[in-house]
Structure 1
Amino acid sequence: MNKVSVKELVDECDLVVFSGGIDLESRFIVTSDISRPGLEMTGYFDYYPSERIQLLGMTEISFAHRMKKNERERIMDKMCGQNTPCFLVSRFLPIPVELEEAGKRHHIPILRSKLPTTRLSSRITDFLQTKLSERRSVHGVLMDIYGLGVLITGDSGVGKSETALDLIKRGHRLIADDRVEIYRQDEQTLVGEAPEILSHLLEIRGVGIIDVMNLFGAGSVRQNTNISLIVNLENWSAAKQYDRLGSGEQAYEMFDVSLPKINIPVKVGRNMAIIIEAAAMNFRAKTMGYDATQKFEDNLNRLIQKNSVK
């Protein structure tokens, strides 16, 4: 099971440690869901999600300051579950003494942020979803082509990396070569990035490993991108019929997200970088409502009708 330490959360989200700093690396977050313990402040703990970050905003802190001291002590102590990763207070609001004491007794860190509650919740949720999402490693090359994330797949030796190098020279950006780490950002979006050990690196047979950022500059690489299109390269076969009208688009499923996939045959004399570049532009045109295949079919139908009248 994926997990994130509270220390990582503090470092990545620019949080301030109010108390419990020595426990940051021993407390772990296992879910991207965040709890706003409003009902718990009133004493209702039947469905208390103690494994979540407990985020206290203006409403919770204001209510806590109106409670009687003994009631506040009881509630704050009960909110400290065995698997509660941390308490987080927004807007640098004043932290009740009883919460501070309960956190120390149960070794639960208390964190603060200057951000408003809604923005803080959104920022932390995005970070945790990225870190905790299920990941899958795919063999291929991921490129940013005209702002579209294009995953280039195909058998080993078909020319994926060489094509990627040509695309980089044409001004497009590399995200990952050889292995692409993919995770689901939301119900409709897959994000791809390079494993840390392969970041910015490209392998060219006969040359070896090259550092793309060092050779072509910082503008030639990206850390990650949303995947919009899959282009599968395959060796040309005379016995196979290939799509010529653009109606052979397939679907590729991963993490219950469907991505469009096209197959492009490879043979000597075909400039794969230009073809993939054109495929990306054509895909973007389709998403904007222009379909060249449909236009051809409309033109053909008009021609048939015109000839039939004669």
Structure 2
Amino acid sequence: MRRDASIEVGKFLDAAAEPLQLTLLSDWGELDRKITSMRIQKPGLALSGFVKHVFPDRIQVLGLTEIDYLLSCSPEQARAGLEAFCSKPLCCLAISRGLDPPDFLMDVARRHGVPVLRSPLMSSVFISRLTRKLEDLLSPRATIHGVLIDVLGVGLLLIGRSGVGKSEAALDLILKGHRLVADDIVEVSVRPPDTVWGAALEMHQHHMEIRGLGILNITHLFGVAAVRDNKKIEVVVELSEAQEEDYDRLGTEPQVWPILGVDVPLARIPLRPGRNIASLIEVVARNQVLKFRGHDSAREFQEKINARIAASARGANIRGPGPDVPVPTPRASSGAVPSPEVE
């Protein structure tokens, strides 16, 4: 199930007030205006009335330059520029460095119902943190039935039909020292440029359901080192009862599984009695680490075979025809001296 990527100013303030040290300066409501863009905007020339390229769905950040410009203008000129700027209508204004906004700025914002926020952070620090927070809050999101686990630093999303053994395999991996991120329901989001991150729902965080045992608190059982809050999904591992002809024996054909429009590498593990699924999943993570370092075992093996075949073909061409081809005997010329007979 996918959720729309937008957030109201009031909810954004609740989520970002502490990390961004934000306070609300306005008292005229309008906190239901929606922020729909991860990017922020510095007004610049827009404060002079040139508002052609103002995007009202972005948070408008006013720093020392913008406030000094407004104070350097005549009140009439400043108000005229602000009237055009705030009439877009803007989702909200955010003032950095803890600066005090001019009275005429607050009057124009009140008249247009634009919320005004303030942070004591320096503009560069504030913009950096604000951008990261917006990426987290506004990323496209969906929920997936599966188990997300961190194996050797690689985020593996285990998928498959209900009851196939995803949670049991994840529990075996936790016993090997790896870390649980989410069980049963994984909330996924896309972060720029094209990375998929997963986390557990708040109610399910650090818990796991094992048939026959019920709900387990992994933190209480194995400690805080056995869990983590979120992880980038780097490989999707499908556990299925696939037939022999349904999967690649060599592993040279790349397979992907799309998540919110991003193709994530896919590894398919067919279930058979007696197979150690947890160990196979761990090998998937180790093989992915090798690929990160530029080593693809399957492709390297295929290249060796192709090189051997090519070398054999070149050798056959150099040696000429095979032994079954008759070789003509050269005739002696009329002036040739016959070879002496050997007694």
TM-score after normalising by structure 1: 0.89
Residue type of the alignment partner of 1:267: R
1:276 equivalent to 2:276? Answer: no
Specify which structure has the higher proportion of strand: 1
- Contact persistence 2:181–2:200 (CA under 8 A): yes
The equivalences for 1:235-246 within 5 A come to 235-237=241-243, 239-240=244-245, 242-246=247-251
State the 1:299 CA deviation. 4.3
Decide which moves more: 155-164 or 239-248: 239-248
Distance 1:163 1:282 in 2: 18
- Find the partner of 1:266 among 271, 292, 297: 271
Q: Which residue of 2 aligns with 1:220?
A: 226
Q: Secondary structure at the match of 1:142?
A: strand
Contact 1:77/1:99 (<8 A) preserved = no
The equivalent residue for 2:238 is 232
Matched, 1:93 2:93: no
User: Number of paired residues?
Assistant: 309
Contact 1:213 1:220 survives alignment (8 Å): yes
The one-letter code sitting in structure 2 at the alignment partner of 1:294 is R
Structure showing greater Rg:
2
Deviation sequence 1:162-216 (CA, Å, 0-9, x none): 0011111111111111111111101321111112222111111111111112211
Q: Deviations over 1:232-256 (max 9, x none)?
A: 111253x535433222430122333
Could you say which residue in structure 2 is the equivalent of 1:3? 7
Identity within the alignment, % = 36
The 10-residue stretch of structure 1 (148-157 or 240-249) with the greater mean CA deviation from structure 2: 240-249
DSSP 3-state at the match of 1:150 = strand
Q: Render the CA deviation track for 1:248-273: whole Å, top value 9, x for unaligned.
A: 43012233321110111112211111
- Of 61, 69, 73, 1:63 maps to 69
Q: Which runs of 5+ in 1 are unaligned?
A: none
- Three-state SS of the structure 2 residue aligned to 1:143 is strand
Secondary structure, in 3 states, of the residue corresponding to 2:23? strand
Letter in 2 for 1:244: R
Are residues 83 and 215 of structure 1, via their aligned partners in 2, closer, same or farther at CA, if it must alter by over 3 Å?
A: farther
Which position in structure 2 is the counterpart of 1:251? Answer: 256
Structure 1 position 138 matched with structure 2 position 130: no
Residues of 2 paired with 1:274 and 1:78: CA distance? Answer: 64
- Displacement of 1:275 in angstroms is 0.7
What is the SS of the residue equivalent to 2:86? Answer: coil
Alignment of 1:185 onto 2:191: yes
* Aligned-residue offset at 1:282: 0.5
TM-score normalized by structure 2? 0.81
Q: 1:137 to 1:35 in 2, by over 3 A?
A: same
1:125 alignment counterpart: 131
Cα 1:24–1:176 change in 2 (3 A) is farther
